[in-house]
Structure 1
Amino acid sequence: MPFREIWASPATESAASVRTRCLEEVVSGRTNRPRPYLRGRRDECEVLDRLVASARLGGHGVVVLRGAPGIGKSALLEYVEAAAADCRILHVAGVESQMELAFAGLQELCEPLLHMLDRLPGPQADALATAFGLREGTPPNQFLVGLATSTLLSEGAKDGPVVCVVDDAQWLDQASVRTLAFVARRLTAQSIAHSVALVVAVRPGERAKTWAGLPGLSLHGLAMPDAREMLESAVSGHLDERVRDRILAESHGNPLALLELPRWFTAAELSFGPAPGATVGKRTLTGRMEEGFRHEVELLPHDSRLLLLTAAAEPLGDVRLLWRAAQRLGIGVDAARSAEEAGLIELRQTVRFRHPLVRSVAYRSATVVERQAAHRALAEATDRQADPDRQAWHRASAATGPDEAVAAQLEHSADRALAQGGLAAAAAFLERAAVLTPNAADRVQRRLNAAQAMMQAGSLEAAAQLLAVTEHGPLDELQRARVDVLRAQIGLAANQGREALPLLVGAARRLEPLDVELALESYVDAFTAAWFAGHLATDPGAMAVALMVRDVPKPSQPRRGDDLLRALAVLFDEGYQTAAPMLRAAVQAFDSDDIPVQEAVRFLWLATVVAIDLRDGKAWDQLARRHLRIARASGAVSALPLALNSRVFVDLFSGDLPAAAALVHEAEAATELAQIRMTPYGAIGLAAFEGRDDHTTRFLASERRDAAARGEGLSVSLTHWANALLSNSHGRYPAALESARAAAAHPEEMVVRSWSLVELVEAASRTGHSAAAADAAEQLAETARASGTDWAAGVAARSQAQLDGPRAEELYREAVDRLERTNLRVESARARLLYGEWLRRAGRRLEAREQLRSSYDAMAAMGLEAFAGRARRELNATGETVRRQTVDTQHELTAQELHIARLAASGLTNAEIASELFISPRTVEWHIRKVFTKLRLTARRQLGDALRGINAEP
């Protein structure tokens, strides 16, 4: 009898008594429910009991059960479902023969909640419905699908606790796995609404890595006393001690083995011991159990075995579909009786195998011809209109040789998968289509398309292996060049360091005589690699790439990206003064809403980098905003982390640290979802601007070591810049000088070098290194003359003023005036701080107070703690007593809470805030409740006054 039937909760127990009992369980750490634990799993059962009890109380959490086949994962999931019988239970199980149909597992899990789709914010509802094929639309952003799933679970939890149970997660499609892992991490980070629990069972192996770092239980064999008791309970008659010891030795405490191995000994062997000379052998435990199940399957009549095989090949557990296929195979109803009597399968509303190993054995033990026949019958029984992709997969599995019709159908399925954001599914369809393609040239093309889909899906190793197979076939020059491009792009995705650069340059050179446009696109990737590798790049470096680009013929119809690429080539070849007009024109060309999505995803981030280097704050803001919007809307999962990290710095320089912090959190989640390795640029910048000393110093040192090991020179320099900024904010000028010099030493590292020159001027001028300060200030002045923007001119004037020449005051006033015309509030506040310090040193205390007070108020409101402390100390030195702001409301609120509070104070509803921040309305509600508690508020209308009282703009 299933565990859920044994331990179902009494229907008469009231909600109030359930809540009281669960509260006692959670507080005391014990469970009071009269429910037996699984033998030898008391600790594990108590953990799961507390998880369910916590969900009933409004909590949330995750437990990942990790262990070998038969170790008891499924039994513990049964236990969870029994413990949560009064909750809403969502269940899905992976199937080994299941195809890579995008989001199939997620849709099965969410099916009972899909009637709540209209409660989700519009973009989230559209993303989830499109991913599930419920409506047509553009390919959904997988990050948005993850957020939508979180919101849907939250909505479902409004009617009662939701407990999600996922079995055999290693066999779910990758799109579903990534989404569920994303939801799991949000649950553990407390960024999802309450009353949701998730329990996942997964076997060790490559696919289990997705769940790494999540709370979990590693299941091992039962202790010897429990193992002995379980074994004796499985044997009704006499058990010879030698047989008992042999089974205990072979099983290693594996519960399934303890229950199943005795079935595979004869009665004589159980009673009198193994035959003389019998040995345990060298088979693995899983192999031994599979052998036993195979023996049971082989004892069945032929039709029963064929029915079992067909059920194993059909992943949905659809009994009606199974019987339609069985009729086509000539299998009658009686064939099921033998399999059910053997306890191998159960046919009720769904098909249920005794254990996943039985399903696996039933499929693998069949001959190739038998498997093809089963798939052919399933293909004929599947409605092509209702489920074309599953039918295509069954047709492919039934194929006896190359078949262009089936290959074309698989290619259409790949197109549908891409439309639903299922890159992994598209790759699987295309790879299978290539195998079945008769024409060699078409086969190569489909393999290349499959490899590209694998790469975009994050399956870099699989993509590289497929390329290795492809390149040994007959390739024309263009196809061989595509192989080189894809291999180089895989290298760049795997590591933004120096290794990818030579590959990309080689691919671009090969493409020049074949396809100029594709060659230029490859040079963009080469520039990207050169920029990230920075001073750690081996030959060729950025300068060499620039010279190559200048030699590439212009395409017949130049694109925005081509003009941007050539402007960058001039920058590296001839310098800033010559390139500035071309760079400015290229940036302006991207300041448009009619950019094709593919071009925007590929080039907008690079245009944003150029806008920063031109110190064009308005263009920077607009381009970064557009880049992020398109990356979110287009489903370009791999582009989203870069777009988010880029946008963070706009908010940092604008002084909106709460918004920057929200983007940093989103970037962390997006990077994890995309399964790429990327330096946390935004987090580095945020830590430096906030100015919290000890933690930030350690964090920067750790990131610097990691970046150096990967060969990412840009990231190394970024951490030096961040440390220079941090040190200047605390007034530790010698340390700032050392870091700024390290960061500014490499001209090829655009943006980071120009930012570092600013810190170098300040640190050098305060430590008596006047020559170094003057040289850095002159470089900034040259940039300003070529750029002509208020940002560039203001920073240059501020830097020249620090040299303390006869025009110092005039230059400080110019800096303040110019920088306050921009949206870069941090820059103008720093200019006032430096001007105020200069006035105080000149003995002009009253004038100094005006500048310092303005700087202090702005920096304190923005959350620049270290700079605000420096301004406060300067104010105190003028004779004006300024008390340090107490760690009350502003600092009690987290950055996310403060940001949400400000949006709420501006009049946005919870749903509108959720849509803007890409979080669930329940998450917004949770944050708002915390804000109300911390600020002691009782009504939403009080938020504006409360936030103004802590120098935060509503």
Structure 2
Amino acid sequence: MRQRVDLIGREPECSALDQMIAAVRTGESRVLLLHGEPGVGKSALLAHLEGTAAGMRVLRAAGVESEMELAFATLHQFCVPLLDRLEDLPPPQRDALETVFGMRAGSPPERFLVGLAVLSLLSDASEGSPVLCLVDDAQWMDQASAQVLGFVARRLLAESIALVFAARHQAPDLFGLPALPIGGLTKPDALTLLTSATHAPLDHRIRDRILAEARGNPLALLELPRELSVTRVAGGFGLPHTDALPTRLEESFLTRVGELSHPSRLLLLVAAAEPVGDPTLVRRAAERLGITSAAALADEVDELLSFDVRVIFRHPLVRSAVYRAAEEEDRRAVHLALAEVTDRQTDPDRRAWHLACAAAEPDEEVAAELVRSAGRAQARGGLAAAAAFLRRSVTLTADASHRVERAVEAADASVRAGDLAAAQELVDIVELDSRNEFLRVRAQLVRGRIAYAAGSYNEAQGTLLAAARQLERFDMDLARETYLLAWGTAADGGRLLAISRAIRELPPPEGGPRPIDLVLTGCALLATDGRSAAIGTLREAMSALSDLPVQDLLKWGWAACGVSPAVWDEQVMCETYTRAVEVARSAGILTELPIYLVCLGSANSLIGDFTTAATLIAEADAVAATTGVPVAPYATLILLALQGKEEEAARLVAATVERPTADRRAAGVTTAHWAAAVLYNGLGRYEEALAAAQASARITQLIVSVWVLPELVEAAVRVGDTEIARDALERLTDAAQDCDTNWAQGILARCRALLGEDEAEDLHLRAIDRLGRTLLRPDLARAHLLYGEWLRRRGRRADARHQLTVAHGMFASIGMTAFAGRASRELLANGDRVHERAAAVPPGARLTPQERQIALLVREGLSNPEVGARLFLSTRTVEWHLRKVFSKLSITSRRQLRDALPHGE
């Protein structure tokens, strides 16, 4: 354990870190991302944190720039001290972790299980003592590690664990985590540090220039004076450079490196190219280059590099400066030496990467090694790593036929990893060089997927449809998958009917339908024959998709996400979207991750968890900004409308509807009008709600245009146009009556109640009963509101007061300000005063969405570990939530949940 580090000018930051450690010692979990420019002192703050952690177990890892292509490399550093606990994990989690670490052979593991396994390892380790996890240089973590650690960070709650990242910027995989920006020191503190680092009095002009250029950066304050001789410091001559600070710092290090002997410089290069920091490996590679480490270390290398348990550079800028400035010939020689001393059996992927970096010309043996490494990386969920291995293999392949085949595979992996530019270059290679028609068609498929990922939907539809038709001659399974992708691009118009008819004409799949074949058939039926004809097949598909293997979910997740809304099942919808997000994060499918995030964000809005919805939407925007592919504002529209934020929602609705025709998709315009209808129904401006709902309902869109019908019924009834209301109800009945889910039947009963006359009260009660069994708190609150309004209009003031108070309390707790205002006005019209806590709120309404979900699963008989596995939480976090549930519901046992949360609640 390091001693506590006292840092000049960092009292607020150190105080925040000390408070974090104190909280962890009391049984809480804490997560923090320290971010700031190079040299600002993030590593020093981690050292301070470690110094305060007496009695805690400390786990360390660091991202390494040259190792960013190797999947799970940083995670392996992190988990090595915990691998003796693997036997205590549930078998699926243990198998998943052993597979991604190469400890066992096996089929590709369930990607979300890797994160859950790491969470379980940490939770188990924290039983003995609190755990402090430090990840330095997080901006250089490989993508797979970043995604898993981000997954873990979002699920820590009650495990006595602190997980702290230090990075130059907030990476997409860590977006949304609590963050502490680290800026420069104040001028007085900077002067104190500068004075402590100099051995001669500073001329005031030199001092002021250093302070100005360093901008409070501690490393700059320590390094910039090294450029100056004592004479120049005393004489007041100006500083020699005016470059940007990071470059200046690197040049400062390089100047010192340039003064070393050639053996010492080569030793530094070996250490820079060897990412693990294994001193034995570094020494063995150096010896192959004719360097004796003793002689090299004697040349003042210790100021830049330390040899201990690990080889560590004094600052990451030293590593990057040394590697980038080296001659290409030296870099190749160093990588070759490292490949020769890296074990072929235990670390084949790192060996292959070193060999690839050492190759100066095409080499089939190395290219084949890279292909094998790509297969292992993809099996472990490292899609970005697989793409990098395959792209390099293309460069090193001399045979033209092998080259284009590998280019197709590399293009496919690249588009999934979000590198559309690289994918396009590889597709061009195939189409230019290949004489194999099947490979050319596969390249056309990838081109269609690039167009879809880039938002060029019209181009994607035509390209994918043409590719699907041609693929029928070569690979019928791939053809069917391509038809489904084409259907998804055209799901709101365009060539939808033509694609659906082509699907219906396909021969039955040999060996029986796969889950994705059921989705394909159901989607085609939805377009050609209507919802009633498709519902049975889609229901069967939904059941099959619940156990869809991860590799299939990676390919077809977007299609799986479309089935549950079509059959009105919010539970499966939330579970499917959650799983799709976790799998996409783990596998690094950046082009599709925003789609799943938007879907999950929309689902969280529908169930009334607006905080989670906003976080997911922000993450989707961040990932989209990284890939350069804009994300549609569907989830934002829904969230703003339900929140009742009129100005923001109206502005975004107008922007979506008025967008140039080429960029307008029916789903976007339909969602915008639907959101406007929800907003204006909440505000009680029914004429505007009716106009928006009618505009949305006129568009032929298979999912959203159905969801807008309840808004149309409500608005039409309120303005007195029963003809429009009955027509909308008839369409809604056609869409929902065959779906015997609580969501479908609850919404249908609520709308029928508005026109039910004699049986209206029974329908209102049925709506409350059915929607009360769902996760859809906003719709349940609206059912209470409509029933309360109906009761008030019939003079039943006491009954109306109860329903309206319940509705108002639920709207207020969810954050639906417009609907809360509407309920408040109804209460005033009923002669009642509105009290913030006057509502007789049902017990379940006092629970957060996650608490309610855990409580419902426990009520159904699941154990805490089973709930944790279902919801991607540690068992201790489930226990923590359950204690809060018991407290809020005033119960003491699991058995009492059946009475505290009855099915009608």
How does the TM-score come out when normalised to structure 1?
0.76
- Residues 155 and 859 of structure 1: CA distance in aligned 2, closer, same or farther (over 3 Å): farther
Segments of structure 1 that go 5 or more residues without pairing to the other structure are 9-34, 535-540
- Residues 211 and 918 of structure 1: CA distance in aligned 2, closer, same or farther (over 3 Å): closer
Question: Could you tell me which residue of structure 1 aligns to residue 705 of structure 2?
Answer: 753
Mapping for residues 400-415 of structure 1, pairs under 5 Å: 400-415=360-375
Question: Could you tell me which residue of structure 1 aligns to residue 498 of structure 2?
Answer: 547
Amino acid of the residue matched to residue 360 of structure 2?
Answer: T
- Residues 553 and 382 of structure 1: CA distance in aligned 2, closer, same or farther (over 3 Å): same
Question: Could you tell me which residue of structure 1 aligns to residue 882 of structure 2?
Answer: 928
1:89 to 40, 43, 58: 58
Would you say how many aligned residue pairs link Structure 1 and Structure 2?
876
Separation in structure 2 between the aligned mates of residue 86 and residue 365 of structure 1, nearest angstrom = 43
Separation in structure 2 between the aligned mates of residue 831 and residue 234 of structure 1, nearest angstrom = 70
Q: CA deviation at 1:909?
A: 3.1
Q: 1:753-775 CA deviation, whole Å, 9 max, x = no partner? A: 23323432343234221332343
Give the 3-state SS of the residue equivalent to 1:334 in structure 2: helix
Give the 3-state SS of the residue equivalent to 1:159 in structure 2: coil
- Residues 227 and 432 of structure 1: CA distance in aligned 2, closer, same or farther (over 3 Å): same
Separation in structure 2 between the aligned mates of residue 730 and residue 261 of structure 1, nearest angstrom = 61
Q: CA deviation at 1:841?
A: 7.8
2:168 to 203, 207, 230: 203
Q: CA deviation at 1:869?
A: 10
Mapping for residues 833-848 of structure 1, pairs under 5 Å: none
- Residues 724 and 820 of structure 1: CA distance in aligned 2, closer, same or farther (over 3 Å): same
Separation in structure 2 between the aligned mates of residue 681 and residue 395 of structure 1, nearest angstrom = 47
Amino acid of the residue matched to residue 360 of structure 1?
Answer: S
Q: CA deviation at 1:860?
A: 10
* C-alpha RMSD of the superposition: 5.2
Q: 1:629-670 CA deviation, whole Å, 9 max, x = no partner? A: 7997897775788789879999999xxx59x99997997799
Are residue 346 (structure 1) and residue 315 (structure 2) matched?
no
Q: 1:440-459 CA deviation, whole Å, 9 max, x = no partner? A: 33223323322322332344
Q: 1:651-710 CA deviation, whole Å, 9 max, x = no partner? A: 999xxx59x99997997799699879766978987998xx7x646x67865774676567
Query: Is contact 1:427–1:454 with CA below 8 Å preserved after alignment?
Result: yes
Mapping for residues 691-710 of structure 1, pairs under 5 Å: 694=644, 704=653
Question: Could you tell me which residue of structure 1 aligns to residue 228 of structure 2?
Answer: 265
Separation in structure 1 between the aligned mates of residue 784 and residue 180 of structure 2, nearest angstrom = 56
1:233 to 171, 185, 196: 196
Give the 3-state SS of the residue equivalent to 1:930 in structure 2: helix
Separation in structure 2 between the aligned mates of residue 590 and residue 887 of structure 1, nearest angstrom = 34
Query: Is contact 1:170–1:202 with CA below 8 Å preserved after alignment?
Result: yes
- Residues 312 and 183 of structure 1: CA distance in aligned 2, closer, same or farther (over 3 Å): same
Q: 1:192-213 CA deviation, whole Å, 9 max, x = no partner? A: 2253323322225xx7455455
Q: CA deviation at 1:404?
A: 0.7
- Residues 775 and 120 of structure 1: CA distance in aligned 2, closer, same or farther (over 3 Å): same
Q: CA deviation at 1:402?
A: 0.5
Separation in structure 1 between the aligned mates of residue 343 and residue 117 of structure 2, nearest angstrom = 29
Are residue 174 (structure 1) and residue 143 (structure 2) matched?
yes
Q: CA deviation at 1:175?
A: 1.4
Mapping for residues 847-858 of structure 1, pairs under 5 Å: none
Separation in structure 1 between the aligned mates of residue 783 and residue 442 of structure 2, nearest angstrom = 51
Are residue 157 (structure 1) and residue 126 (structure 2) matched?
yes
Larger displacement relative to structure 2 (895-904 or 810-819) = 810-819
Are residue 398 (structure 1) and residue 358 (structure 2) matched?
yes
Q: 1:202-242 CA deviation, whole Å, 9 max, x = no partner? A: 225xx745545544344444444443443343332455555
Separation in structure 2 between the aligned mates of residue 740 and residue 117 of structure 1, nearest angstrom = 55
Question: Could you tell me which residue of structure 1 aligns to residue 69 of structure 2?
Answer: 100
Q: 1:714-749 CA deviation, whole Å, 9 max, x = no partner? A: 2453464466467668976445423422321212x1
Give the 3-state SS of the residue equivalent to 2:33 in structure 1: strand
Amino acid of the residue matched to residue 128 of structure 1?
Answer: L
Separation in structure 2 between the aligned mates of residue 43 and residue 398 of structure 1, nearest angstrom = 47
Are residue 356 (structure 1) and residue 356 (structure 2) matched?
no
Larger displacement relative to structure 2 (828-837 or 123-132) = 828-837
Question: Could you tell me which residue of structure 1 aligns to residue 179 of structure 2?
Answer: 216
Query: Is contact 2:810–2:845 with CA below 8 Å preserved after alignment?
Result: no
Larger displacement relative to structure 2 (517-526 or 341-350) = 517-526
Mapping for residues 22-421 of structure 1, pairs under 5 Å: 36=6, 38-120=7-89, 123-186=92-155, 192-204=157-169, 208=171, 210-237=173-200, 239-241=202-204, 243-272=206-235, 274=237, 280-340=240-300, 343-421=303-381
Separation in structure 1 between the aligned mates of residue 878 and residue 742 of structure 2, nearest angstrom = 38
Larger displacement relative to structure 2 (170-179 or 155-164) = 155-164
1:903 to 857, 864, 867: 857
Question: Could you tell me which residue of structure 1 aligns to residue 469 of structure 2?
Answer: 512
Query: Is contact 1:833–1:871 with CA below 8 Å preserved after alignment?
Result: no
Query: Is contact 1:54–1:60 with CA below 8 Å preserved after alignment?
Result: yes
Separation in structure 2 between the aligned mates of residue 273 and residue 817 of structure 1, nearest angstrom = 86
Query: Is contact 1:379–1:391 with CA below 8 Å preserved after alignment?
Result: yes
Separation in structure 1 between the aligned mates of residue 396 and residue 221 of structure 2, nearest angstrom = 44
Query: Is contact 1:319–1:347 with CA below 8 Å preserved after alignment?
Result: yes
Give the 3-state SS of the residue equivalent to 2:376 in structure 1: helix
Query: Is contact 1:501–1:526 with CA below 8 Å preserved after alignment?
Result: no
Q: CA deviation at 1:792?
A: 8.7
Are residue 502 (structure 1) and residue 459 (structure 2) matched?
yes
Q: CA deviation at 1:307?
A: 1.9
How does the TM-score come out when normalised to structure 2?
0.80
Q: 1:448-484 CA deviation, whole Å, 9 max, x = no partner? A: 3223223323445654565567766667655455444
Question: Could you tell me which residue of structure 2 aligns to residue 32 of structure 1?
Answer: none
Larger displacement relative to structure 2 (554-563 or 109-118) = 554-563
Question: Could you tell me which residue of structure 1 aligns to residue 392 of structure 2?
Answer: 432
Segments of structure 2 that go 5 or more residues without pairing to the other structure are none
Q: 1:276-316 CA deviation, whole Å, 9 max, x = no partner? A: xx763443333333333223223323322222221211111
Q: CA deviation at 1:420?
A: 0.9
Separation in structure 1 between the aligned mates of residue 733 and residue 555 of structure 2, nearest angstrom = 32
Query: Is contact 1:901–1:931 with CA below 8 Å preserved after alignment?
Result: yes
Q: CA deviation at 1:436?
A: 1.0
Separation in structure 1 between the aligned mates of residue 424 and residue 159 of structure 2, nearest angstrom = 42
Mapping for residues 659-670 of structure 1, pairs under 5 Å: none
Identity of aligned residues (%): 41
Query: Is contact 1:314–1:322 with CA below 8 Å preserved after alignment?
Result: yes
Q: CA deviation at 1:556?
A: 6.1
Amino acid of the residue matched to residue 696 of structure 2?
Answer: A
- Residues 95 and 226 of structure 1: CA distance in aligned 2, closer, same or farther (over 3 Å): same
Query: Is contact 1:617–1:822 with CA below 8 Å preserved after alignment?
Result: no
Mapping for residues 797-808 of structure 1, pairs under 5 Å: none
Amino acid of the residue matched to residue 262 of structure 1?
Answer: P
Separation in structure 1 between the aligned mates of residue 868 and residue 574 of structure 2, nearest angstrom = 21
Amino acid of the residue matched to residue 148 of structure 2?
Answer: T
2:670 to 684, 705, 717: 717
Q: CA deviation at 1:178?
A: 2.5
Query: Is contact 1:546–1:570 with CA below 8 Å preserved after alignment?
Result: no
- Residues 437 and 746 of structure 1: CA distance in aligned 2, closer, same or farther (over 3 Å): same
Separation in structure 2 between the aligned mates of residue 246 and residue 729 of structure 1, nearest angstrom = 60
- Residues 886 and 855 of structure 1: CA distance in aligned 2, closer, same or farther (over 3 Å): closer
Query: Is contact 2:806–2:841 with CA below 8 Å preserved after alignment?
Result: no
Separation in structure 2 between the aligned mates of residue 162 and residue 787 of structure 1, nearest angstrom = 49
Separation in structure 1 between the aligned mates of residue 179 and residue 782 of structure 2, nearest angstrom = 48
Amino acid of the residue matched to residue 886 of structure 1?
Answer: A
**Could you say which structure has the larger radius of gyration?**
1
Question: Could you tell me which residue of structure 2 aligns to residue 26 of structure 1?
Answer: none
Q: CA deviation at 1:428?
A: 1.5
Amino acid of the residue matched to residue 916 of structure 1?
Answer: R
